[in-house]
Chain A
Amino acid sequence: MTEPTFFVLTALLDGPRHGYGIVAEVTDLSQGRVRLKIGSLYGALDRLVGGGLIELDREEAWQGRLRRYYRLTERGRHALDAEARRLAANARLASIRLRRQNPIEGTSA
């Protein structure tokens, strides 16, 4: 799972969002580190919809335009859960090794 995809799914965890809503939430979640470009966002959305990980929630009119809201599916939730566990396990591995290198302080030098 690519980083943009991971953040898009995470952004949709607490409720449906529209395109710009996802961009803003991902910027917030990553503390400004990941700034999704529209091409990358819709590349990810297209794949996620195709793979059944997200789906259209509703359409709302806003300033004369239609906003499409997307929501996470059960399948998407499972995929994100699996990816989060995998990343957490990787991070744990690294932390254990780092602590072993510097056991007294419990941190790396």
Chain B
Amino acid sequence: MSRLEERYRRVLRLLPAGYRRQWEDDMVAAFLETMQTGDAETDEYLADHGRPSLAEMTSILSLAVRLRIGGPDAPPRPYVWGQAVRLAVLTGVLTQAAMATVGLAVTLWLTGALSWLPAPASEWALVPPIGTWQATLHVAGYAWLPAFLALVLGHRRVAQAVAVIAIAPQAVTVAVEQAAGPAPLTVAAWAMLVVELLLLVAMSAVHRDGVPVARRRWLLALPVGILAVPVPLFVAQASMPALRLLDWPGLCCVLVVVAMVVHLGVRAFRPPSRTLPWSLALVILAATALVQRTATLPDLVGQVQRTALLTIASVQIVAVLAVGVPLAVLAFRLLRHLPSVSAAAQPPHTAD
């Protein structure tokens, strides 16, 4: 086996084992032929020193993603993973949209545009954005709301383009402040950016291969979500200053723990195979929340109330682990019984 073949086979390891059993040798033969130039000396050199091009590696990577995060025609295991990723992405974008909507409402309230609401206290007086850039940054964040609506209504590419509007100014700000800002930047700013970028990429899994999204439920989830989380949270934080110790990574932990507890309750009364995509979606969200919380711990050390903040963060980590690990064990045990390669595809379900 030539070095080139070894290298190519290493790239092919990205593909699921079942798929490789069926196609690997054929793919290797075809690839090696594409590398032949007709000149014996060049071919010999390439066999030793050649590497698969970036385009070839990307094509294998995207095939691997497509096979592992399957659509309705995929075997049961990749299909369930696909559903889980789609549910996790929709939930993530929903969270961003709900927060953006309430942020918009609060800004309108503070500027006096919502006159039917009681006037804000003087301590809440709005600090006007210092420059055009800050104003742009502020407004761009609201783009998550149209992005969510476009995603649910089936315009995935529009949703991604709109999400770029939300993310790009923030990315530039984080990079510029990191390079030239007066104070060292917090990990939280980077963590939020990374999560949003992941969300943007993972949006590609929604609506792929014609997997339908339960539109009515997800559209209903937006007002319900807004009324259930950011509105009461804003009111509570406005009236009880102690609650302001709950930062964004902390809030994500609290939300995912509550969601997992509710899910475990629902799961007890339904056939486990039906709830498996949601179980896995929550495991993905819990893992993301956990990584975000752990990565942002250094931010808390520099705070005045560090003891309280670190205690709260530790409780959040323990809570996510205490509920998330048993759920993950249950979900993976069930997943193992599903075939990863099979001609018998499961009937399509909506991503609900």
Contact = CB atoms under 8 A, between A and B. Distances in A.
Interface in B11-35: 19, 22-23, 25-34
B62 interface: yes
> By DSSP majority rule, is chain A's interface helix, strand, loop, or mixed?
helix
A68 B33 CA distance: 13
Contacts of A18: 29-30
A65 B29 CA distance: 7
Q: Which of B28, B59, B343 has the most CB of A within 10 A?
A: B59
Given A50-B343, A66-B25, A20 B30 contact: yes
Contacts of A68: 26
Interface stretch (A5-13, A36-44, A75-83, A84-92): A36-44
By size class, the interface of chain B is 20 to 34
B65 to A, nearest CB: 10
Contact of A39 (B63, B73, B343): B63
B25 A38 contact: no
A42 B56 contact: no
B106 interface: no
Given A18-B30, A23-B34, A40 B59 contact: yes
B60 interface: yes
Contacts of A16: none
A93 to B, nearest CB: 24
B25 A42 contact: no
Interface of A: 18-20, 23, 37-43, 45-47, 50, 62, 65-68
Contacts of B56: 37-39
A23 B66 CA distance: 21
B242 interface: no
Contact of A42 (B23, B32, B33, B34): B23
A46 B19 contact: yes
A37 B52 CA distance: 11
Nearest to B32: A65
Contacts of A37: 55-56, 58-59
Contacts of B25: 65-66
A43 B63 contact: yes
Interface in B327-352: 343
